[in-house]
Amino acid sequence: MTLLSEGTHSGAAARSGRALHALTLVAFLAASSAPAPLYPLYQAKWGFAAFTVTLIFAVYALALLVGLLFFGTMSNRFGRRPVILLALAIQLLAMGLFLLARDSAWLIAARTVQGFATGLATTALAAALLDLDKKAGATINSISPMVGMGVGALGSGLLAQTAPAPLHFVYVLLAAVFLAQTVRTLRSPETSSEFADEPWRPRLRMEVPCEARQTFLRIAPMNIAVWALGGFFLSLMPSLIGEIAPDQTQILGGGAVAALTLAGAVAVLLFRNQPARTALLAGSAAMIAGPTLILFSLNTSSTTVLMTGAMVSGLGFGAGFLGAMRSLAALATAQERAGLLSAFYTESYLSNAVPALIAGFAAQRLGLSETAMMFGATILALAALSFILTLFTKASKPTERKP
């Protein structure tokens, strides 16, 4: 296997590798949000309920969590490139399932396969980017998921509104991108020069060290709020927009997701050099203002106010998640870090999936608008709690724990 030696990491080969893996990461996350604007079309065609939409979304998040937590260390043993290639092959299978879908069961299967592929790819691609350049790799890993989800949702919405075969065209395009990235990855060098010696097996390491437990609990309201809101946007928001602007459901549905995620990427850039406490306070404030605007838009049927609320919420999403992550970053030794991050991501993706499922169940009985009002009120309460907890926590620079 060709290796990219340490000495070439700063040269043209490293730049080419960063571009390759960054594009693959963006493509995976773009594919993850591409179905969101299409859910109203699937509903109209196959006649399933709002709960089924959230189930289709939730199985993706749960499968991603399995891939991330149980198989995330595969690239340490087998290398980054083989695991990335495996994830690309599984993702191509998912695109095929979307193209062949005949009912909601097919969509559930496609999203399950897609979620596992994305979880598998995320850790291997993140590690490959860090192999090539730790500083640039960290920035790319922070920004690429949000950019990818924004581009995927917006592009899918535009294609569904303007291109032929709206339920198929975007998946053909994505399949072509993943096929091209597979060929390019096959021709690329391995980025890791060290491989774990012990036999590999799927296993979960999840624990919160004593020194991090108080902080973990303090940031939980913010982390739950941002991921729950993201889950609502990626599952039910396009259908909700359909009640306000039925003629622009796909474009505005994708646009709302793009506004949330791209604003989140901007927030990460804005607050990347700020203390975690500053990011958490700003994120909490934005997560109060943004959902308030969204709830107001539902009463006024104003798409302009809704999109503004989505952008403000996105700033809260990015700043809040960054602040939560950085609050924990220095509170574990190298040996404890994997278990702590596993617990953090478990909380994150469960918050992404479970509230969306509850909202889908409630929407069948109470109506989508009424459910959105209650969901928004819950987000506001969590964001307000986060603001208060952060405000009254003594500002201090955490001391990083050594191994």
CA within 13 Å, CB half, 210: 0
pTM for the complete prediction? Answer: 0.84
Angle at 73 between CA 71 and CA 76, to 5 degrees: 140
Task: In whole angstroms, give the CA distance from residue 98 to residue 73.
Answer: 28
Please, which residues have CB within 8 angstroms of residue 402's CB and are 6 or more apart in sequence?
333
Element (H, E) at 247: none
pLDDT tens digits for the chain (403 residues)?
555 544 445 577 788 889 999 999 999 999 999 999 999 999 999 999 889 999 999 999 999 999 888 887 788 888 889 999 999 999 999 999 999 999 999 999 999 999 999 999 988 898 888 888 877 777 788 788 889 999 999 999 999 888 899 999 999 999 999 999 999 999 999 887 777 667 777 777 677 888 888 999 999 999 999 999 999 999 988 888 888 877 777 788 889 999 999 999 999 999 988 998 999 999 999 999 999 999 999 888 888 999 999 999 999 999 998 888 888 867 766 566 667 777 888 898 899 999 999 999 999 899 988 999 999 999 999 999 999 999 988 755 544 555 5
How far from 264 is each of 261, 271, 274, 341, 345, CA to CA, in Å? 5, 11, 15, 20, 18
DSSP designation for 401: P
Separation of alpha carbons 156 and 153, rounded Å: 5
Q: What's the gap between Cα 342 and its chain centre?
A: 15
How far from 306 is each of 32, 232, 240, 254, 380, CA to CA, in Å?
23, 14, 11, 13, 16
Question: From CA 162, how far away is CA 153, in angstroms rounded?
Answer: 14
Sequence-separated (6 or more) residues with CB below 8 Å from residue 286: 267, 312, 313, 315, 316, 319, 320
CB 326 within 8 A of CB 272: no
Please choose, from the candidates 140, 122, 18, 131, the residue with its C-alpha nearest in 3D space to the C-alpha of residue 61. 122
pLDDT at 238: 87
- Residue 267 to residue 201: CA distance in whole angstroms: 38
List, in order of start, the domains of the chain with CATH numbers.
9-190 (1.20.1250.20), 207-403 (1.20.1250.20)
Query: Taking the C-alpha atoms of 368, 370, 374 and 379 in order, what is their torsion angle to the nearest 10 degrees?
Result: 50
